[in-house]
């Protein structure tokens, strides 16, 4: 793998992880708000983070559904999620549809619902998978550089 490709893959995976982490923060803020803790988060920022998380879930769902327009990095993360899942791919797509609907509701109402716990779990998996994939890319790039090939 060339350094350029390795860096590009690393950046793409890092962005995935960051978007998932931002959505996780937004969900945590909603939960704190429900519990009576005011973290003084701007509603527009909170909505934007939830929307970004929803878009991330939609892109992974599309990749799981073998969308021909899916980005190769999305496909790689979707493949890892599918490999680690105990359900069939078609059921996994349905699960993602449910998670997306929950996120849409949270975006509109800015309230915490218990169903967001499942969204949190999936976003954590996406973040961890993206992080692990980024680290693998870094290790491969280091190995390539250590071997002297480019």
Site of tokens 């929307």: 51
Instruction: Report the predicted TM-score, pTM, of the whole model to 2 decimal places.
Output: 0.82
C-alpha span between 21 and 74 (Å, rounded):
16
- How distant, in Å, are the alpha carbons of 51, 59, 95, 135 from that of 102? 11, 16, 11, 31
Torsion-angle region of residue 36: left (phi > 0), alpha (psi -120 to 50) or beta? left
Q: Give pLDDT, residue 150.
A: 46
The pLDDT tens digits for 3-42 are 777 777 777 777 888 889 999 999 999 999 999 988 888 8
The pLDDT tens digits for 89-142 are 778 999 999 999 999 999 999 999 999 999 999 999 888 888 776 555 545 545
User: How buried is residue 107: exposed, middle or buried, by Cβ count under 10 Å (0-12/13-18/19+)?
Assistant: middle
């Amino acid at each position: 793998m060339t350094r350029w490709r390795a860096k590009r893959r690393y950046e793409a995976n890092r962005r995935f992880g960051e978007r998932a982490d931002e959505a996780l923060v937004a969900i945590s803020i909603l939960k704190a708000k429900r519990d009576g803790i005011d973290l003084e988060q701007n509603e527009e920022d909170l909505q934007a983070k939830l929307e970004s998380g929803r878009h991330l879930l939609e892109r992974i769902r599309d990749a799981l559904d073998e969308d021909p327009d899916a980005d190769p990095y999305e496909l790689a993360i979707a493949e890892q999620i599918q490999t680690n899942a105990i359900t069939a791919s078609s059921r996994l797509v349905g699960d993602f549809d449910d998670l997306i609907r929950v996120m849409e509701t949270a975006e509109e109402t800015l309230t915490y619902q218990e169903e967001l716990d499942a969204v949190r779990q999936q976003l954590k998996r996406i973040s961890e998978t993206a992080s692990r994939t980024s680290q693998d890319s870094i290790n491969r790039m280091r190995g390539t550089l250590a071997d002297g090939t480019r």
